[in-house]
């Protein structure tokens, strides 16, 4: 019996790029549709407006929803489409140039910094949670995490010899560290909105 061929690391990252790109694009598309409907009809209530706290409409209509002078979700439509395309190319056997991996990592870094600024604004300034925005946050964090680990492992990002043992440990516990990252954000949200949650209890 023939042994199954081992899965190449780049195929794993290709699947991740395709999946995060597709999920992020769909969430951005839904936000774009809801924003367009709100512009046509200010009385329109997006389906994700579930409560005074869980609400997409109030977040989209805030200044934080259009940081660069246009709706943030338009950035997502373009960026996530490109990411999904790169993922499909890698799955199809394409070998991306080092410069492209570095550009992708730089873009993911900018995205994760922007996402954490939006998380802060959402939790501590607006006091609202947008479910579709949270999906974008989650996939952006995963994208940055795994593209960075891939580039460190393959030497795209130079790593001193002293850091290789740390990288090996991180690679062994990558999903635990990612879960902890998500956990910190979840704890911040639960802490910030604990009074509202308590008001719902009998």
Confirm whether 4 is domain-assigned: no
Residues 14/87, Cβ–Cβ less than 8 Å: yes
pLDDT at 197: 61
Determine the Cα–Cα distance for residues 43 and 53; give it in Å rounded to an integer: 18
Host domain of residue 77: 9-194
Q: What percent of the chain has pLDDT over 70?
A: 92
- Identify whether 125 is part of a domain: yes
User: Read out DSSP for 75-108?
Assistant: HHHHHHHHHHHHHHHHHTT----HHHHHHHHHHH
pLDDT (0 to 100) of residue 8: 56
- % of the chain exceeding 90 in pLDDT: 78
| Structural domains of the chain, count | 1
* pTM for this prediction: 0.91
Beta bridge partners of 54: 129
For residues 137-162, give the mean pLDDT.
Answer: 95
> Does the residue 140 lie in any domain?
yes
Residue 200, in any domain of the structure = no
> Residue 2 falls within a domain, yes or no?
no
Q: Is position 199 within any domain?
A: no
- Tally of CB atoms within 10 A around 48: 20
User: What was the pLDDT predicted at 10?
Assistant: 83
CA dihedral 45, 49, 53, 59 (to 10 degrees): -70
Residue 42 in this model has a pLDDT that exceeds 90: no
User: Residue 79 belongs to a domain with what CATH number?
Assistant: 1.20.1440.130
Per-residue pLDDT at 9 exceeds 80: no
Long-range CB contacts (within 8 A, 24+) of 63-72: 64/118, 64/121, 64/122, 64/125, 64/126, 65/35, 67/114, 71/31, 71/32, 71/35, 72/118
Question: pLDDT band at 98, cuts 50/70/90?
Answer: very high
Where helices occur in the chain by DSSP H, the ranges are: 9-40, 57-60, 72-91, 98-120, 131-153, 164-172, 174-192, 194-200
User: What pLDDT score was predicted for residue 6?
Assistant: 43
pLDDT band at 7 (very low <50, low <70, confident <90, very high): very low
Quote the pLDDT of residue 1. 45
Residue 58, pLDDT > 70, answer yes
pLDDT at 195: 76
Establish if 1 belongs to a structural domain: no
Q: Residue 144 class from Cβ within 10 Å (0-12 exposed, 13-18 middle, 19+ buried)? A: buried
Q: What is the band of 79 on the pLDDT scale with cuts at 50, 70, 90?
A: very high
Residue 91 near residue 39, CB atoms below 8 Å = no
């Amino acid at each position: 019996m023939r042994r199954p061929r081992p899965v190449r690391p780049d195929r794993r990252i290709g699947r991740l790029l395709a999946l995060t790109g597709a999920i992020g694009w769909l969430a951005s598309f839904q936000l774009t549709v809801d924003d367009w409907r709100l512009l046509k009809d200010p009385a329109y209530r997006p389906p994700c407006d579930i409560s005074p706290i869980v609400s997409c409409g109030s977040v989209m209509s805030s200044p934080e929803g259009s940081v660069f002078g246009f709706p943030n979700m338009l950035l997502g439509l373009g960026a996530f489409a490109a990411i999904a395309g790169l993922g499909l190319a890698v799955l199809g056997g394409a070998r991306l140039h080092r410069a492209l991996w570095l550009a992708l990592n730089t873009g993911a870094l900018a995205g994760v910094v922007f996402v954490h600024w939006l998380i802060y604004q959402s939790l501590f300034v607006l006091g609202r949670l947008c479910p579709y925005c949270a999906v974008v946050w989650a996939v952006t964090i995963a994208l940055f995490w795994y593209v960075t680990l891939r580039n460190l492992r393959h030497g795209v990002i130079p790593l001193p010899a002293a850091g290789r043992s740390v990288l090996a440990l991180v690679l062994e516990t990558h999903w635990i560290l990612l879960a902890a990252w998500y956990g910190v954000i979840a704890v911040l949200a639960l802490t910030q909105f604990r009074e509202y949650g308590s008001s719902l209890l009998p």
